[in-house]
Amino acid sequence: MASPRLFEPITLRGTEMRNRLWISPMCQYQALDGLANDWHLVHYGSLARGGAGLVMVEASGVVPEGRISPGCLGLWSDEHTKALREVVNVVHRWGGKIGIQLAHAGRKASLYPMLPGLPEGSIPIEDGGWETIAPSAVAFTGLREPKKLTLEGIEELIEQFVVAADRAVEAGFDVVEVHGAHGYIISSFLSPLSNFREDEYGGSLENRAKLLRKIVKRIRDNHPDLPLVVRISASEWRDDGFTPKDGAQLAKMLKEDGADLIDVSSAANVAEARIKAGPGYQTSFASEVRKGGLPVGAVGMIISATQAETILVSGLADVVSIGREALRNPSTPLSWAKELRSDSYHEYVPDSYFRAWPQR
């Protein structure tokens, strides 16, 4: 195979990613006060050096209380912008493009970092935890009950996302992703299983999507040339929840609002779900959402080069993202390029590594 689809470039709003194998945002829980540090420089630099087309930085809180945990990154001050600019520069140095996932964890904020040896669940207020917010005052199973957002609070939240996007552009990020998945604040608004509002932000899908749409529109107005990705949970694995067909309808709306690509994941908004996980288990959701008229990314147990290539050539998705495979081996893109006999794979090999990666 001389020209695998996986290693063809893709361009969003004039920004070209060198291939269609991207790195998913994955929480590292290594930040202090939301600031990037040496861990992030090495981690993200290694992923870029390994040949990824786009490296997506983990969920970064648009405000301190928007973080999943005290160990999560943030982007709410000049100091955070400066620290992340160094990460951007490292990724660019190794030929990759870099994005950042802007997030507010909503009712799933104020958790202990998901690291070995630590407790699970909400951090008590007296131990450094904080109050959480949601569309309705309904807790995620086992977590602290959140406060229902007022209409004024919703407007503040929208502004927080917009300002964080401005900071991301200032830091030099090539792509911004709005996190609308996994039960965090936007996802909990989108879902009928967590949004029980009776105002303009509740009820129909059109109403439940208003928060996300306003955020996307405002960011697009401020940054006409910025590639803008939205991650969604296209299925809650329940018939009475958000469905892939809803995802396709949402994609149509977001296309009107200026989004460029939908990053399709699933689940994590309600604990009571029967998830059938397996290799590529979310790919069919991506294919359904793609009917909404926007390019899509597939993610979730994509574990081999041939699997990733098949997803693309079959027209199920436009890019694929890997997570744990990249944690196991940051050079997975380079390995897969060699395996698929891509003519361009040697272009990803750092000069100092040439002895480990012969051209054939």
Cα 89 to Cα 166: distance, rounded to the nearest angstrom? 18
- pLDDT at residue 344, rounded to an integer: 82
Q: Residues of 160-177 as b/e, b for ≥16 C-beta within 10 angstroms?
A: bbbbbbbbbbebbbbbbb
256 backbone φψ class: left, alpha, beta (φ>0; ψ -120 to 50): alpha
Residue 2's pLDDT is 64
CA dihedral of 337, 340, 343, 346, whole degrees rounded to 10 = 30
Question: What's the pLDDT score for residue 348?
Answer: 85
Neighbours of 328 (CB within 10 A): 10
Supply the pTM of this predicted model. Answer: 0.97
CB 76 within 8 A of CB 30: no
- Asked if 66 contacts 21 with a C-beta cutoff of 8 angstroms, the reply is no
Look up residue 316 and give its two tokens: 């199920």
- Per-residue pLDDT tens, the chain, 360 aa: give them: 468 999 999 999 999 999 999 999 999 999 999 999 999 999 999 999 999 999 999 999 999 999 999 999 999 999 999 999 999 999 999 999 999 999 999 999 999 999 999 999 999 999 999 999 999 999 999 999 999 999 999 999 999 999 999 999 999 999 999 999 999 999 999 999 999 999 999 999 999 999 999 999 999 999 999 999 999 999 999 999 999 999 999 999 999 999 999 999 999 999 998 899 999 999 999 999 999 999 999 999 999 999 999 999 999 999 999 999 999 999 999 999 999 999 888 888 888 888 888 765
Among 327, 280, 275, smallest CA distance to 299 is for 280
Catalytic (active site) residue 184: yes
Q: Using CA of residue 117, residue 123, residue 126, residue 129, what is the dihedral sign? A: positive
Backbone angles phi, psi at 253, to 5 degrees: -65, -45
pLDDT for the residue numbered 346: 82
Assess contact for 83 and 36: CB atoms under 8 A. yes
Residue that has been written with the tokens 């809650």 in this structure: 236
Give the DSSP letter string of 273-299: ------TTTTHHHHHHHGGGSS-EEEE
Q: What are phi and psi of 176, to 5 degrees?
A: -120, 135
- In the prediction, which pLDDT does 359 show? 65
In the set 29, 184, 345, 348, the catalytic residue is 184
239/276 Cα distance (integer angstroms): 14
